[in-house]
Amino acid sequence: MPSTEFEQIVLAGADDHDLTKLSEYEKVGGYQSLRKALGMERQAVLDELITASVRGRGGAGFPSGRKASFVPKPEQTTKPIYLTINADESEPGTFKDREIMARVPHRLIEGALITAYTIGSNAVFIYIRGEYLTEYEIVKAALDEARDRGLVGANIAGSSWNCTIVLHRGAGAYICGEETALLESLEGKRGQPRSKPPFPAIAGLYAAPTLINNVETIATVPAVIARGGAWYATLGVENANGTRVFSLSGNVVNGGNYELPLGTSLREVIYDIGGGIPNGRTLKAIIPGGSSTPILRADQIDTALDYDSVAAGGSMLGSGGIIAIDDRACMVQVALRVASFYQHESCGKCTPCREGTRWLVSLITKIEAGQGSNADLDLLVDVCGRIMGRSLCPLGDAAAMPISSYVERFREEFQAHIDQGCCPYGDQSSLDGILGPVQQAARMHRQLAVIA
């Protein structure tokens, strides 16, 4: 369970109360921030958000108050203004938004209402990933309860302000977490990203001004309004305010979500809170922020989890999904599994990513099987370079960045496969034979071809 040494913001109260219930949420001050905000000028609420400077928790880390300020004011546009909440969480290693929705759904709803009020929106869409059926039911029940109590819909909390919230389920596509793909999907289309500009703040859902924020970003808003942006800004470290709900997984004793101040070190998370590496094994590598972030070597364990420190270590804080990898894992197999995911999820709209992700998988497959040459390894690095910075949306970079980091930081393992003509782990790697959806499809097609 989450450590109690630090003050929780997003998950506060959830250990002692069933905060899925409105009455329990009200006992811990629930919906008081909404009432407070409704009594303030929109600009004053926005100023608090800007002062708090909560950096977007969806991965990119853009300051959320500033992003909200890019949305035109209601008097500056003839179109409706929309708030869309990104609950599509699908980055491997990341499962915090699921826990927020399951345990503090009303905090998400309250944060959504305050944010909508701030930008002059009367319509919120929560795009929840399709696989999250249980979480969908929990958020839906919370919404129904809030609606019955006059907190969602017309004349909210006795004010003259109206706002609807629609809970929209995705249908299984990682790319729909990318904000413009999400909007396409919400418009009833294939989830393929749009080119930017225009940015969603100007032309988003139905070409109207749209603010898009992650679940966790939105769930910080009630606390910011209750206690002030200046207070929030004292939490965490410089340039990385507040707490984050870190997801910890992989080869670690106590996997789970832990809300901690930004700036906590990887060592504290993995060893002090996570209980270290099971079965007396040794830590070999750490993926710090979801599978799209470059890998760190075990000797970088003292890296602090804030944007600048992780960047200085050659990676990114990303989605806050920390994956511990012990010494049984063949790094080439790790690369193959990660590359396979991005190939499966590439939407196919632009050439570098569509073709490049296939190339990555086939080159790594060849090297892993011990059939690769030094030229293949050079080509692998070259393909990464041809994807990075050349793709229409950041998924291309998300596929190439980790792969080039595995080669850079564990080159000796790739080289050993080439030199020995086989996997040096034999069949003893923890990932041996792992079958992803991409390999599953390829295997079925080969079977069919044999029968035909």
Partner 1 sequence: MSETALYLAIQDVAAQYPQRRSAVLPALRLAQEAHGGWLPAEAFRAVADALELTPAYCKSVASFYDMFQLAPVGTHMIEVCTNISCALVGAQATLEAFESELGIRAGETTPDGAFTLRTIECLGGCGWGTVVSCDHRYKQHVKPADVPALIEELRHAEH
**Candidates 4-12, 41-49, 57-65, 108-116; binding stretch for ligand FMN (CB under 6 A):** 57-65
Q: Rg for the chain (alpha carbons), in Å?
A: 23
Neighbours of 45 (CB within 10 A): 26
CA 156 to chain centre: 31
Q: Pick between residue 178 and residue 413 the one whose CB is nearest to ligand FMN.
A: 178
Q: Which two tokens stand for residue 378?
A: 């050079």
Q: Pick between residue 31 and residue 174 the one whose CB is nearest to partner 1.
A: 174
> Does position 183 bind ligand SF4 by CB under 6 A?
no
Residues in the interface with ligand SF4 (CB under 6 A) total: 14
Query: Which of 243, 391, 404, 429 is in the footprint of ligand SF4 by CB under 6 A?
Result: 391
123-128 sheet: strands from edge to edge? 164-169, 123-128, 82-87, 210-214
| H helix or E strand, kind and range, residue 211 | strand 210-214
> Does position 59 bind ligand FMN by CB under 6 A?
yes
> Does position 89 bind ligand FMN by CB under 6 A?
yes
> Does position 179 bind ligand FMN by CB under 6 A?
yes
Closest separation in Å from C-beta 263 to ligand FMN: 19
Q: Which two tokens stand for residue 105?
A: 């759904």
CA–CA dist 14, 350 (Å, integer): 43
**Secondary structure (H, E, C), 49-79:** HHHHCCECCCCCCCEHHHHHHCCCCHHHCCC
Do 9 and 96 form a contact (C-beta atoms < 8 A)?
A: no
Neighbours of 315 (CB within 10 A): 23
Q: Pick between residue 53 and residue 409 the one whose CB is nearest to partner 1.
A: 409
Closest separation in Å from C-beta 299 to partner 1: 20
Q: Cis omega (within 30 of 0) on the bond before 197? A: yes
**Candidates 88-96, 267-275, 296-304, 388-396; binding stretch for ligand SF4 (CB under 6 A):** 388-396
Query: Which of 275, 278, 348, 437 is in the footprint of ligand SF4 by CB under 6 A?
Result: 348
Q: Pick between residue 24 and residue 355 the one whose CB is nearest to ligand SF4.
A: 355
CA 174, 178, 183, 184 torsion: positive or negative?
A: negative
> Does position 354 bind ligand SF4 by CB under 6 A?
yes
**Candidates 51-59, 322-330, 381-389, 417-425; binding stretch for ligand FMN (CB under 6 A):** 51-59
Query: Which of 293, 346, 404, 405 is in the footprint of ligand SF4 by CB under 6 A?
Result: 346
Closest separation in Å from C-beta 149 to partner 1: 20
391 binds, among ligand SF4, partner 1, ligand FMN, none (CB under 5 to 8 A by kind): ligand SF4
CA–CA dist 272, 253 (Å, integer): 11
